Structure 1
Amino acid sequence: MSRVLDVPRELAEPAERGTLTVGHAVVRKVAQHAADQVPGTSRAGKKGTKAKVGGLDNDVDLALDLALQYPAPVRTVVGVVREKVTEEVELLTGYHVRTLAVTVSALLPDVPPRVR
C-alpha cells in the first residue's frame, strides 16, 4: 500500500531551493560510460575506458585513455568519442567540457583469443 505524499503545489523560489553538486567522480563515470558505448572502442578486460577529471567551477577538463578495435579508423572513432562524451557529460551533469584529451593506448583484435 502506498500513501500519497504531501507535495506543495508551488515551488519555492530558486534561491530557497538549495543547491545540487555533481562530484567529479560522477563526471568520470559518465565520461567512461559514454566512451565505452561508441562503436569501435574496445573494453580492454573489464576495465574499459579510463578517465581523469579536473577543472574549476562549471568547467571540467577530461582526459580519456581508451582502447580501440583493430582495424578501426582511429580519427573517426576518436571524433565520435569526443562528441558523445562531451554531449553526455554536459547533458547529464550540467558541466561545460572545456578540454577533452583522448589517448589511444591499444588496438585490440575484434576476435577473442582461442585459449584463455
Structure 2
Amino acid sequence: MTGATGMSTTLAEPEDRGTLEVDPSVLRKIVEYAADTAPATRHRTRRLAGVDVGEAGPSAKVVTRTADEVDVRLWLALSYPGPVRAAVAEIRERIAADLLRMTGHRVGRFTVEVDALQSDRASARAQTARVH
C-alpha cells in the first residue's frame, strides 16, 4: 500500500492491529433497517389517546452473545394476506446477511413477534387520507 508521501506502508499482522467493537445500538439499527426494507414489512400507525401520531416501523433488541455472535428479538407488522412463515424466513436471511457483511457478526437466536397484520388496501387508504 502506498501512503500520502508515496512511501510504501505495510499493515501489521491481523492479531496486532487491534480490535473493532460495534456498539449494540449500531447493530440494532442495521437489524431494523434490514427488516424495514423487506417487501412484506409494513409500518404500524402509532396512536396516543386515540390520535394518530405517525408511524412505527420494526423495532429490535440486539444482545451480544460472543465477540461475533448476537441474539436478535424483532417486533414488526407484516402485509396481509401473505405467507407469514416465508416472510419471516426472508427477513431473517436479510438481517443475517447484512449483519455479517457490515460488521462480521452472526445471528444466534432469532425471535420474531409479528404484532400486526396490515392489509395493503388499508395502507393505501391511510396514505390517500394523508395527502392534503
TM over 0.5: yes
**Partners of 2:41 and 2:26 in 1: CA distance:** 21
Residue 74 of structure 2: aligned partner: 64
More helix by share: 2
Number of residue equivalences: 113
Normalised to the residue count of structure 1, the TM-score between the two structures is 0.84
**Partners of 1:52 and 1:11 in 2: CA distance:** 36
Deviations 1:45-78 (A, max 9, x none): 4421100011332221000000011212111111
* Alignment match of 2:115 (pick from 88, 105, 110): 105
Larger RCO, structure (CA 8 Å, separation 6 or more): 1
After TM superposition, list the pairs within 5 Å mapping 1:1-116 onto structure 2: 5-6=4-5, 8-45=8-45, 46-57=55-66, 58-110=68-120, 111-113=124-126, 115-116=129-130
CA contact (8 A) 2:24 2:64 kept: no
Runs of 5+ in structure 2 lacking a partner?
46-54
- Over the aligned positions, Cα root-mean-square deviation in angstroms equals 1.9
Deviations 1:19-59 (A, max 9, x none): 21111111101111111111111022442110001133222
**Partners of 1:76 and 1:15 in 2: CA distance:** 41
- Deviation, 1:16, is 3.1
- Deviation, 1:104, is 0.4
More strand by share: 2
Runs of 5+ in structure 1 lacking a partner?
none
Normalised to the residue count of structure 2, the TM-score between the two structures is 0.75
